[in-house]
Structure 1
Amino acid sequence: MEVGENEVQTSRVFTIPNLLSLLRLLGVPLFLWLILVEEADLWALAVLAFSGVSDYLDGKLARRWNQISKVGEVLDPLADRLYILTTIAAFTIREIIPLWFAIVLVARDVFLLALVPVLRKRGLVRLPVHFLGKAATFCLLYAFPLLLLGIGDGTLAMLAQVFGWAFALWGVALYWWAGILYAEQVRRVLRDNPA
């Protein structure tokens, strides 16, 4: 989450927003166990739904209660990335999404990961999060539960598939668009801060 003009960053670790992010992180192995070992899809769906709601809440509460912290700025995107990557892996293994879709999503993170050493050489740890990246994450975190719900039969499953793939395709497009914007930010940093 990015600190705005009227927001103050705190060094506190034990905050409600950080607790929500930590719970999201702890939910990752639980989700994997539920979907891959137990194949308890409804429970896995509940964990995914919690991750989406808590992702929204942690940022909102941090801003509202002035609890924006350095820890939260690491935990929140870490939880987002882990949920996205583990869900992609689990959904690919279960054949809920095709392999090509998984490759397109993972390739964006690999692309951005390749930019990290360049940033570190300039003394930067990360780039500020922008709205487009948050919108992409929002779409993907809402697509995944719908796609999981869509593996059944009936009208509800069919509607979940339609809306799930709509969110997923928009999410991928926004995910890559945000990635290109991040790469442009890196290019500007390199131009403005030559080695």
Structure 2
Amino acid sequence: MARAGLTAERLTQAAAELADEIGFPNVTVSALARRFGVQPAALYAHVKDIQDLRVRVAALALTELADRAAGALAGRAGKDALAAFANAYRDYAKEHPGRYAACQMELDDETAIVGPARRHAEMTRAILRGYDLPEPAETDAVRMLHGTFHGYVSLETAGGFRRHERDVDASWSRALDALDLVLRNWPSA
């Protein structure tokens, strides 16, 4: 019989919190079981295996990130929308490093995260509507934005910008200015 109070949702939330504390790659069924004071086998009544748990954390994180971005985007367009989305993305990654890492994981079976991932991608494309980019330029721009946001956040959280006196927030602001300029002046094919 499964331990009272354990559910897939509670385990997912606890795994996400644990990921933020110890790093996403370090989340194991054993570590999660210790958090609840149960044997690892008790968790298998609610999650199939560690991969299932990681996919659940990725789906949770993508949903949280999309919710945060949606709130930031409300009523904004153009550069304001770009900055709001980028800041929501950056803030989430810094506040929830383990969950953010889960968003980036490669999955064998992506069915569990299709909805949250699609919602996040649709918001990125909504920002780009203000720049009136046709396909395939829009897809190229989505990739450029994700690469820039992810690269900046990854370097920042790893301490890659500590060795320079220039304030990282000032550089972030300039990067957003540059992205806006590029999007407004997208090169023709």
Larger Rg: 2
- TM-score normalised by the chain length of structure 1: 0.36
- TM-score normalised by the chain length of structure 2: 0.37
